[in-house]
Structure 1
């Protein structure tokens, strides 16, 4: 019985370790590519509106808005089902900014919405 209780406590502790912060400051900041390049912070939550310019391989794409272009990483599971996305379609991306000290910074995309 003691082993069962200990196992339950360990499982409960592990579940708490994967909690997600949803309080103040956790929401994505609407921004532009230029604002990210000028003042973006590592792991900053972002929301971008623009379009995909091209695929650059291995789940990486070139995203563009009216202020510039930024590489983005989009896992194949994140693409909206039954909604094609092309170079002329407007989309909204939410995710995190991955600021690099050396090399090109990029965005990790967690959600994509097709804008009509």
Structure 2
């Protein structure tokens, strides 16, 4: 009889743990406040945002779309990007550049993620770059 009681107790504990985990999982999906991945950084409706909005409320790993110019190369794969509202560092791998040359006057669209490091430097880790106009 004791073995049966131990089995029932373990089953109840395990079931409770699973139910609790499921409840937390479901509750997380409905939460849209800080830490949820849903951002309060405004965008224009087409997915684009501005450097000023990102710098005002930087959220690590937030996906962003920016349009502007690479105004200068800082070092290998590191550029200064300006969209008219502000400037931000953009880390762009060489293989993400299109085959056409990009100058400081070339309007580009970059898609990437906000990267906030430990000393509060905000950068964009660029995943895609395309030329909008020369």
Residue pairs, 1:52-67, within 5 angstroms: 52-67=70-85
Residues 91 and 113 in structure 1, CA contact (< 8 A), matched pair in contact too? yes
Q: Does 1:91 align with 2:108?
A: yes
Aligned length: 89
Q: Does 1:70 align with 2:104?
A: no
Which structure features the higher share of strand residues?
Answer: 1
- Which consecutive segments of 4 or more residues in structure 1 shift more than 2 A? none
Ranges in structure 1 where 5+ consecutive residues have no aligned partner: 1-24
Q: Which gives a bigger RCO, structure 1 or 2 (Cα 8 Å, sep 6+)?
A: 1
Which structure features the higher share of helix residues?
Answer: 2
TM-score, normalised relative to structure 1: 0.71
Aligned match of 2:57: 39
Residues 58 and 122 in structure 2, CA contact (< 8 A), matched pair in contact too? no
Tell me the CA shift for residue 29 of structure 1.
Answer: 3.8
